[in-house]
Amino acid sequence: MNLLEAIKGRRSTRRFKDIEVEPEVIRELLDISIWAPTASNVQPWGFVVIQDKNYLQELSTQAKADNLERMKGIPRLEQYKASMENPNFNIFYNASTLILIYGKKEHLYTIHDCSMAAQNLMLAAWDKGLGTCWIGFSHGVCDSDSFKEQHNVPQDYKLVAPVIVGYREDIPLRPVSRREYPVFQWTGNNS
Ligand SMILES: Cc1cc2nc3c(=O)[nH]c(=O)nc-3n(C[C@H](O)[C@H](O)[C@H](O)COP(=O)(O)O)c2cc1C
Q: How much distance in Å is there from the Cα of 70 to the middle of ligand 1? A: 19
Question: Is residue 29 within 8 Å of residue 124, measured between CB atoms?
Answer: yes
Chain-centroid distance of CA 29 in Å reads: 13
Ligand 1 first shell, C-beta below 6 A: 11-12, 14, 133-137, 176
Question: Is residue 98 within 8 Å of residue 49, measured between CB atoms?
Answer: yes
Euclidean distance between CA atoms 108 and 68, whole angstroms: 30
Q: Identify the three-state secondary structure at position 136.
A: helix
Instruction: Please name the amino acid found at residue 104.
Output: K
Question: Is residue 19 within 8 Å of residue 96, measured between CB atoms?
Answer: yes
Residue 173 has pLDDT above 80, yes or no: no
Q: How much distance in Å is there from the Cα of 163 to the middle of ligand 1? A: 10
Instruction: For residue range 36-91, list pLDDT tens digits in order.
Output: 999 999 999 999 999 999 999 999 999 999 999 999 989 888 899 999 999 999 99
Q: Identify the three-state secondary structure at position 6.
A: helix
Mutational pocket test of ligand 1: of 7, 10, 11, 12, the residue with most ligand atoms within 8 Å of the beta carbon: 12
Give which of 26, 44, 8 is closest to 130, Cα–Cα. 26
Euclidean distance between CA atoms 36 and 115, whole angstroms: 9
Q: How much distance in Å is there from the Cα of 135 to the middle of ligand 1? A: 7
Lowest-confidence pick of 8-12, 23-27, 47-51, 110-114? 8-12
Instruction: For residue range 86-131, list pLDDT tens digits in order.
Output: 999 999 999 999 999 999 999 999 999 999 999 999 999 999 999 9
Report which protein residue has its CA nearest ligand 1's atom 26.
Answer: 11
Q: How much distance in Å is there from the Cα of 137 to the middle of ligand 1? A: 10
**What letter would DSSP give residue 103?**
E
Instruction: State the fold for domain 3-167.
Output: NADH Oxidase (3.40.109)
HSE-CB at 88 with a 13 A cutoff on CA atoms is 0
Q: How much distance in Å is there from the Cα of 74 to the middle of ligand 1? A: 19
pLDDT of residue 177: 86
Instruction: For residue range 145-161, list pLDDT tens digits in order.
Output: 999 999 999 999 999 99
Domain boundaries, the chain: 3-167
Residue 191 has pLDDT above 70, yes or no: no
